[in-house]
Chains A and B, each alone.
Chain A
Amino acid sequence: MIAPLTAPPEVPLSRFEACWVAEAVRLRELAEAAELGIGIVGGSRSSVLADVALPIVGGEEAWLLRRAETIARDNGMLEATLAWRRRAAVMMGLLCVLAVVSGFSAALGFFGAGERAVNVTWTLLGLIGMPVVALLLWIVSSLLAGRVGAGVPGELWMWLMSHAPRFGGKSNHAAEVAVVRALATMSSRSGLERWWLGFITHTLWLLMIAACLVAMLLALSLRSYSFVLETTILKPEDIAGLVQNIAALPASLGFVVPDAEMVTAALAATQNDASSAVVATDSAASLSADLTVDASASFASQSEAERRAWSSWLVGGLLVYALLPRLLVWMFAAVRLWQLRAGLALDIRLPGYTELLRHSASPESPGVVDAAPALPQPTQVAAIHRVRNHDAVLLGLELGRDLLWPPARLATPRTVAGGGYAVTEVVESREQRRSTLAQLASHAPAKLLLACDVRLSPDRGTLGWIVEVSHYAGELRVWLVSPDSAEDVTAAWNRELTWRDSLAAIGLGPERVMTTESAAYAWLIQHD
């Protein structure tokens, strides 16, 4: 009865079970992912499902279901699901037995052992009253609230599921929570919930009523009863009317029902009973004996046709007012349940699924297709050498348009005793580079100051040209020009470090890199 815990049998899951298991796995994975603070598939980082890599074949939904089943088989979720189902079936079985027993005993209780005449209206209303009221309540609450579907037996079943002790092996608490939660979320999402809870309710009621009917038929077949109509405060006509009204529907279905004469006779028997009971009170001691006599008297007075008619009236009433409506609702619930279960589809747009699908669709990225070259050894700037003049040149190299060039303080070339300096245009293009190189080649200055925009990234081309130009000057230094505004300076700060590193790599140490205009000016005009 209880399947082994370790290896669930390889029976194919029904669609409902497959969806259920998938939902349980999804909820579990989302919870795990949230716990670990990662996505279900965390990009290049570790992910919950790193170990499950099934290729997507045969549709996304089928893939998700298959994947969930594979996972569930491994982590005990499938086992928990099947165990829960078994338990649900066992509890349902218990309740079914309870329903049959209570239906049986209710009917027998109302009919009694035959020692007293059966009060037909009291019996019928007693037997159909509860089921009919319950059914009406179910219908009304379903229509009003739109989703209350459990009904009393359904609630009872849920109560049993939560409170009855569990048998058979250790239970996996976390898996159970996920399984129940999954059933709840899945069925509330698909609208199944109200129908399967309703189905349980209607099944139990149906069993109870059927048991009631069977018990009634058994009693009527195997015992002899006489039937009376009784009332204390109603007028006899009212009772007669009630009987006729109740009889109308069964009669139209072909049930034999008592005619007016029979009703009058049954009522008359009651009156006899009542009068004899009044008489009997005179002598308390003889009460029971009198009653027995009265009962047998009325029993004897009823013809077989009358008894058959009354029996048929009772059976017809129970069938038409209790069993048939319940059967109809039960069938409706069964059909809806069957339809919804057949149409059950995994919502692949749910959180968790979307990520999974996206992830599995691209199992591998092209990766590095062209590896990085060996790091080139940067060529070094020319060593400082003597040049036979004291000239200095300030050269702007790729400067931002917002920088004033030449800078205000250095705008007018000065001639100082023994040396002066010249300011060139900003050098950018190939042609400018070429002509500048040509000029420097024809007359190499002792000092060459390159002004670079600190906000730009130093690149290999620029650094290469700095190296090239260093051969045409006695000494080359670099001035990292930064803009005046404060926010730009902070933005440039990172790049200044980059510049210093890059310049150091080509042999321009910190002593040959300056950042202020005054330092630049001082170096240009100073002569040794």
Chain B
Amino acid sequence: MTNPLRIAVVGHTNTGKTSLLRTLTRDAGFGEVSPRPSTTRHVEGARLNLGRELIVELYDTPGMEDAIALLEVLDAQAAGGGRRLDGPARVAQFLQSPAAAGRFEQEAKVLRQTLQSDAAIYVIDARDPVLAKYRDELEILANCAVPILPLLNFVRDPRADERAWRDALARLGLHVQVSFDTVAPASEGERIFYEKLATLLDKRGEALLRLAAGHEQEARERRLAATQLVAELLIDAAACRARVERAEEQGVLAEALAEFNRRMRDREQACVDALLGLYRFNRDDVEAGSLPLIEGRWRDDLFAPGTLTALGISLSGGAAAGAAAGFGVDLMLGGTTLGAAAAIGALLGGGLQTARRFGRRLGGALRQKILGSVTGSRFLRVDDTILQVLVTRQLFLLQALEARGHGAVAQIAVVPPPAPVNWKGDVPAILRRAREYPSWSALCETAKPFDALSWDAERQRTLEALAQVLQDLLPPLPSGRGRNLKS
């Protein structure tokens, strides 16, 4: 295995170096991030792998705080030596001097790390004016004789003066620059960043291009996993059917409904948690974000009438009364006016399996009708509108998590509020199918371990189909086709 690229992340204090590392490593737990300066005062490494291959070691360094004085010291040392020294020699000379262990200990750490690195990323808070001290920092770093990639952070902020920075950097001879918002990275931002870095590293940069492609592959895999989680939630919710005995008695139905709703809420929460876990966020990480989440929970209750209107989901006819209260009391007869023609059509179109399914459905409906009229039991199941809320909210969360950098600590609006998922497409069609198999739901029916294998296989196929449909609803991810360096 070749040695990994060693890259030092340097810059003025409080420009977002640690945030950059968090975003690049997708690890919100790396280091410590705060709005105060001098939060990081040590050098800490992190690794970027492609499969099992270690590609990059990133080093987070303390901020440079006293560049003007340091450059003065360096100049004085160079002038005093009587010999003309090149940059690295000057830096080495400084690192051996007492000043490096005293007043400039923090800067010495930065320089020591940079000297050992293959390249340095100079992180800039693009909201700051181009001050003389920043120029001095770059001049000092240039002495280390490693390629420097200036990275403009917070470029999405309206105060950011990207142009002034780009001009200033060009005047310092730094023509390869990159904009990268560590809080809300653009969807292709990471690849562009690696490509820029690769241009500075010549042959060794090739590994970075592979890394970028690998990361895009991972993003697609993550999205696949995420849509499967959402599909799992939807199938659990849609298939769930709870039987209420003696429903006509006082309070029985209301109590059962409360229990039913609680289970739904918990199930949705489990999905939120799983998505956060998948995208490697803590509950607290997203708390202050643009998401209507409080401590990792949705702010609006799943069954609150306001939730529907907030998402722009209109209540449809007969469902309105039930949906506003948050449920559908369903005798499952409306959906199963199954004529002979439908049965024959199903036989022709879908073969025996389909016919059997219709049989089940019809049988179940009849059984329920008879049971219901004899015993007074009712069946609860979640209404279509609630499913619509579920899918809309989870897809919104998914996109917000995709767009969110792991360096984000503060509130920032990135994703527009969700538009309700179109309820005429494939999603409801698949979910209607799921409704016919109460045993598919892990929520309401106690899962029978040996319930026919083919059902599980069928559930799996439905799940995968639904996940695919959900994927199609999302904006496409970067294609991952390796772009040419020159572009």
Chain A contacts to B: CB under 8 angstroms: 33-40, 42-45, 56, 60, 137, 141, 144-145, 147-148, 150, 155, 158-159, 161-163, 173, 176-177, 180-181, 183-185, 187-189, 193, 197, 349, 351-352, 354, 357-358, 361-362, 365-373, 376, 398-402, 428-430, 432-433, 453, 455-461, 464-465, 487-488, 491, 494-495, 498, 502
Contact = CB atoms under 8 A, between A and B. Distances in A.
B54 A362 contact: yes
Contacts of B109: 370, 373
Contacts of A365: 45-47
Contacts of B224: 351
B443 to A, nearest CB: 13
A373 B14 contact: no
Closest 3 CB pairs of A and B: A37-B273, A366-B45, A351-B225
Interface in B63-96: 63, 65-69, 71-72
Contacts of A370: 42-43, 109, 112-113
Contacts of B127: 455
Contact of B448 (A147, A162, A184, A433): A162
Interface of B: 12-14, 26-30, 35-38, 41-47, 49, 51-54, 57, 59, 62-63, 65-69, 71-72, 103, 105-106, 109, 112-113, 127-129, 131-133, 136, 158-159, 161, 164, 218, 221, 224-225, 228-229, 270-274, 276-278, 280, 282-283, 296, 350-354, 447-457, 459-461
A144 B282 CA distance: 48
Nearest to B448: A162
Contacts of A34: 229, 270-271, 273-274, 277
Given A459-B38, A465-B68, 4 more contacts: A34-B271, A35-B270, A366-B46, A464-B66
Given A357-B51, A362-B49, A365-B47, A37 B42 contact: no
Given A184-B460, A400-B129, A459 B45 contact: no
A457 B452 contact: no
Contact of A495 (B35, B59, B228): B35
A170 to B, nearest CB: 13
B387 to A, nearest CB: 19
A430 B450 contact: no
A433 to B, nearest CB: 7
Contact of B280 (A43, A141, A188): A43
B65 A461 contact: yes
Nearest to A178: B449
Nearest to B451: A162
A159 B455 CA distance: 12
Given A161-B450, A189-B460, A145 B351 contact: yes
Contact of A39 (B42, B69, B280): B280
A38 B29 CA distance: 13
20 contacts: A33-B277, A37-B277, A158-B453, A162-B450, A176-B450, A188-B461, A351-B228, A354-B218, A354-B225, A361-B54, A366-B46, A401-B161, A430-B136, A433-B68, A456-B129, A457-B12, A460-B13, A461-B65, A488-B159, A498-B37
Contacts of A60: 51-52
A502 B36 CA distance: 10
Contacts of B105: 373, 376
B137 to A, nearest CB: 10
Contacts of A145: 350-354
A39 to B, nearest CB: 4
A465 B49 CA distance: 43
A198 to B, nearest CB: 12
Contact of B456 (A185, A197, A362, A428): A185
Nearest to A398: B131
